[in-house]
Amino acid sequence: EEGRWRDAVRELGRTERKNGAMWSAAIVACGNARMLGKAVELFGAMVDSGVYPTAGSYTAVITACERVGAAEMAVEMMEQMKAEGLTPELETYNMLISTLGMRRRIGEARRYLEEMIRAGLLPDRVTYNTLITACSTVNDWRRALEILRAMPAAGVKPDAESYNQAVAVCAKAGVVRQALSLLGEMRMNGVRPNVLSFNHAMAACDETDNWRVVLQLLNDMRLQGIEPDDRSYMIAITTCEKNSELHRIPLIENQMKKVGFKPAKHVQEVLERVKRKLSEEEPKMTILDVPAA
């Protein structure tokens, strides 16, 4: 991204007659490279050159603010834009709401949502997903579910990301029942869970040391044709380790080998640590006590 913003600024400098679209393109390139200062500098230079900012120009700066979580400047640019008589676009609101969410300013984010609706702009899936994600910054799982439930009434069907973010909020807040309920709701509503959905639900169970449900979810993934990833196995392994269920971890490792899964280095290190612990312990079970794989 660094090379791209430099190229964009260089190209802009070589252009004698610059229009708003050219300025905006360079501002966007700087924003994508997280060069907010340069983006703002270009915006000022555009105004000084006599090119009147458009809604797209302001959106480009607000997007640059979102990349680095500069909420104050994002709000300032939004209010300046409206004061200039320009109408914010859907993307403008989405970027501002995302920036506010990153800074835990959920109340302001909701107010801008209400403002965009009053202005006749219909929130899209990005808007709602952004708000649900914002709820995770303050562990507000109730509000996250409220937003998720509001989507169909607004004519917006939740997708896997919508549910995944809601499950993640529930996991972070430690409300296991709600996290697991969302997995079932996804399937009922025709949204197929993916590995992230299960990982978030497993993380919720891990927070409450519910190792049995963690292992059940790991098994359910495979039954539904979803391949567990390193995080899936890591959660299962560490949950068993924390709950003194070390003898179950070799079964997990065997399953990994059976499907040809090669764990990442950090997962392999945990497996080696568990093997050392098991070798130091006296046998506590007979083979008949070990559950079938």
Rounded Cα–Cα distance for residues 267 and 263 (Å): 6
Taking residues 260-275, report their average pLDDT.
Answer: 93
Task: Tell me if residue 208 falls in helix, strand or coil.
Answer: coil
Statement: residue 77 has pLDDT above 90 = yes
- Residue-wise pLDDT tens digits, 58-74: 999 999 999 999 999 99
Identify the residue whose tokens are 């959905």: 197
Rounded Cα–Cα distance for residues 259 and 72 (Å): 50
Statement: residue 241 has pLDDT above 60 = yes
Identify the residue whose tokens are 């046998």: 283
Residue 57 — very low, low, confident or very high, per pLDDT cuts 50/70/90? Answer: very high
- Residue-wise pLDDT tens digits, 136-151: 888 899 999 999 999 9
How much of the chain is helix, strand and coil, in % rounded to 5? Answer: 75, 0, 25
pTM, two decimal places: 0.81
pLDDT of residue 247: 92
